[in-house]
Amino acid sequence: MEKYNPVITDRYALYNGDCVDITKNMPAESVHFEIFSPPFANLYIYSDDLRDMGNCKTTDEFFKQFDYLIPELYRVLKSGRLCAVHCKQLAKYKGRDGASGWIDFRGDIIRHFEAAGFQYHSEIVIWTDPVLEMQKTKTQRLLYCQLQRDASYTGIGMPEYLVLFKKWDDGDPEPIKHYKSAEDAEKKGGCPEQIFDLEAWQKYASPVWFDIKRTDVLNAKIARSDRDEKHICPLQLEVIRRAIQLWTNPNDIVYSAFGGIGSEPYVALEQNRRAIAAELKPEYFAQMKANCEEVTRASQQMTLFDNDYLKIF
């Protein structure tokens, strides 16, 4: 299998390898925001690599592996800043688990992050269409015919979540400032990119985001042929975009420990931030590299800084 060397430019650093090892080698207090979608325990298998956290038979086995990463995520995050974790609940099946229902995967993530020092800060529910879920999964709980036969077996659609954790620690963190208008930003000596009018803030502050398009993913935006590597469950670009706009300043460093094909670094670069990402699977890493090159070429804003700040090996 082809191995890739790190790709380091003046705007991003991409690493092909185990995210635990990579994060351990990063300096403490070196990133401004973390956002990623971890493997959903035993829901998908991304590769046959033993270091792949998706290669776990049970949720308990997954968290034994995830617990090696979470304290490192806390260590490298700047004081006062946030980590955003995309997740969903996992389904139980009668044939496999003895009863049908849900596994509280989201709750387990919260408990494990708090055990590592993070504070559960807030969360956003990402609305999903139960009809599309039913058509895709044929799950019994969403079948209309099951409602007519015995409604005790029916349930509701399964949303997704963006769960926010904050690193409360000693220090004097740099504030993330927003302004109500360009005139307000100029008056206060702020950045004109950091504008949030009241209407936009009220929309983003909603606990449920109803307007996220399921197809707004990097697969659909970038892929050009059947030979391109497809990431199984990429996070929607608009979710990443809103999170980065809300919780970072321009030129901040955004870190994704599970880079996949590069959704998080892609949006970070698009939004004039810097990016670090780790990805274990070589095929995904190659596509992430191509995606970052694509958005960098398209960007009109180039921010130069010292490469050594991103170089961790």
Give one DSSP letter per residue of 74-138, joined into a string. Answer: HHHEEEEEEEEEEEE-EEE-HHHHSS-EEE-HHHHHHHHHHHTT-EEEEEEEE---HHHHHHHH-
Whole-structure pTM value = 0.88
Q: Is 13 exposed, middle or buried (0-12, 13-18, 19+ CB in 10 A)?
A: buried
Token pair for residue 267?
Answer: 């949006």
**Does residue 180 belong to any structural domain of this protein?**
no
**Does residue 195 belong to any structural domain of this protein?**
no
In angstroms, what CA-CA distances link 15 with 4, 53, 116, 180, 202?
8, 17, 24, 38, 37
Backbone phi and psi for residue 34, each to the nearest 5 degrees, phi listed first: -120, 135
Domain residues for the domain of 73 are 7-172+207-309
Q: Which residues pair with 164 in a beta bridge?
A: 84, 122
Q: Number of structural domains, the chain?
A: 1
What 3-state class would DSSP assign to 294? Answer: helix
Backbone phi and psi for residue 74, each to the nearest 5 degrees, phi listed first: -65, -45
Give per-residue pLDDT as tens, 233-278.
578 999 999 999 999 999 999 999 999 999 999 999 999 999 999 9
For the chain, residues with pLDDT lower than 70 are: 1-4, 41-56, 220-233, 300-313
For residue 108, give the nearest of 52, 21, 20, 42 by alpha carbon. 42
Q: Is 6 left (phi over 0), alpha (psi -120 to 50) or beta?
A: beta
For residue 271, give the nearest of 300, 291, 294, 231 by alpha carbon. 300
**Does residue 194 belong to any structural domain of this protein?**
no
What CATH number should be reported for the domain holding residue 21? 3.40.50.150
**Does residue 82 belong to any structural domain of this protein?**
yes
Q: Where are the alpha helices (DSSP H) in 126-197?
A: 130-137, 144-149, 182-187
Please state, in angstroms and rounded to a whole number, the distance separating the CA atoms of residues 138 and 155.
Answer: 13
**Does residue 77 belong to any structural domain of this protein?**
yes
Q: Which residues of 52-91 are buried (b: 16+ CB within 10 A; e: fewer)?
A: bbbbbeebeebbebbeebbbbbbbbbbebbbbbbbbbbbb
Amino acid identity of residue 123, one-letter, is E
Token pair for residue 240?
Answer: 């990443």
Our measurement of the distance from residue 22's CA atom to the centroid of its chain's CA atoms, rounded to an integer in Å, reads 17
**Does residue 222 belong to any structural domain of this protein?**
yes
**Does residue 201 belong to any structural domain of this protein?**
no
**Does residue 181 belong to any structural domain of this protein?**
no
